[in-house]
């Protein structure tokens, strides 16, 4: 059972954050966006999401709340997915330079001939960059902590591998770091594009099994 959980963790490390920076330029209260990202990290996937920004008058900051759904392009089903709910909050800003905090809760799932797996994780990240109303460039640092894994074994697995396999939730001590660069540009104040490139590291700062890098191309539409 622990071996299956470890295999699922490897899959989740490579499922990536799947998120191009959906906010282009400065974040303003009342603004809202829809976005779609095309991802390689390391599989091809597509993301659809929504963002809305609010004003926090007590601290004079704009809080943006986002939600999105991701699934592999070539499978186009909901048995392999990632759901994300998150916030973005500027922590420090000058006239052009900003430090932005990102906090997200993630649910990732997969289904195959051996098992059906579900992972719950929490991600904390920071952007440091040069932000204007029309474009921005930033570096990013993120850490995703894997919290809980649910494994349900298939009938094929019970018949051919181990009949006594137990389904259930298992705690996890795994996680991954993300290091990257990203930039975006808005055309006519309506449509924007975002490019995001970076690498993954395990908690021990080792390269993960497989492809250790990611690339995201995002399209943002301002409502």
pTM for the model stands at 0.84
Residue 27 has pLDDT above 50, yes or no: yes
Structure confidence by residue, pLDDT tens digits, 101-115: 999 999 998 888 888
pLDDT number for residue 45: 86
Mean local confidence (pLDDT), 107-136: 89
Q: Across all residues in the chain, what is the average pLDDT?
A: 83
Structure token pair of residue 193 = 């594009």
pLDDT number for residue 25: 57
Structure token pair of residue 203 = 């908690």
| pLDDT tier for residue 6 given thresholds of 50, 70 and 90 | very low
Mean local confidence (pLDDT), 140-164: 89
CATH class of 2-222: mainly beta
Residue 8 has pLDDT above 70, yes or no: no
> Among candidates 182, 186, 213, 185, which has minimal Cα distance to 195?
182
The domain limits of the chain are: 2-222
Q: How far apart are CA 194 and CA 166, in angstroms?
A: 44
pLDDT number for residue 44: 84
Residue 9 has pLDDT above 90, yes or no: no
Higher pLDDT, 172 or 128: 128
Mean local confidence (pLDDT), 61-79: 83
Residue 58 has pLDDT above 90, yes or no: no
Higher pLDDT, 74 or 3: 74
Structure confidence by residue, pLDDT tens digits, 33-57: 899 988 876 678 889 999 999 998 8
Q: How far apart are CA 218 and CA 187, in angstroms?
A: 14
Structure token pair of residue 177 = 């770091």
153: how many CB neighbours lie within 10 A of its CB? 19
What are the residues whose beta carbons fall under 8 Å from the beta carbon of 215, sequence distance 6 or more?
Answer: 39, 40, 41, 195, 196, 197
| pLDDT tier for residue 129 given thresholds of 50, 70 and 90 | very high
**Would you list the DSSP string of 70-116?**
EEETTT-SSSSEEEEEEEEEEEEE-SSEEEEEEEEEEEEEEE-SSEE
Residue 153 has pLDDT above 90, yes or no: no
pLDDT number for residue 39: 84
Are the C-beta atoms of 176 and 204 separated by less than 8 Å? Answer: no
């Amino acid at each position: 059972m622990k071996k299956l959980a470890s295999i699922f963790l490897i899959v989740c490390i490579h499922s990536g954050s799947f998120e191009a920076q959906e906010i282009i330029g400065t974040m303003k209260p009342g603004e809202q966006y829809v976005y779609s990202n095309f991802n390689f990290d390391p599989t091809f996937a597509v993301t659809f999401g929504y963002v809305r920004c609010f004003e926090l008058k007590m601290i004079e900051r704009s809080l943006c709340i986002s939600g999105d759904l991701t699934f592999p392009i070539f499978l186009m089903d909901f048995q392999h997915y990632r759901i994300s709910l998150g916030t973005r909050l500027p922590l420090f800003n000058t006239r052009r330079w900003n430090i932005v905090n990102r906090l997200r809760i993630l649910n990732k799932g997969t289904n195959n001939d051996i098992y059906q797996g579900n992972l719950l994780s929490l991600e904390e990240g920071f952007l440091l960059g040069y932000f204007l109303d029309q474009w921005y460039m930033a570096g990013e640092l993120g850490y995703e902590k894997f919290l809980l894994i649910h494994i349900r074994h298939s009938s094929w697995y019970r018949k051919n591998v181990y009949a006594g396999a137990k389904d259930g939730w298992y705690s996890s001590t795994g996680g991954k770091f993300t290091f990257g660069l990203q930039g975006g540009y808005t055309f006519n104040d309506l449509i924007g594009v975002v490019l995001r490139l970076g690498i993954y590291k395990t908690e021990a700062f080792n390269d993960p099994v497989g492809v250790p890098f990611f690339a995201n191309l995002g399209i943002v539409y301002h409502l």
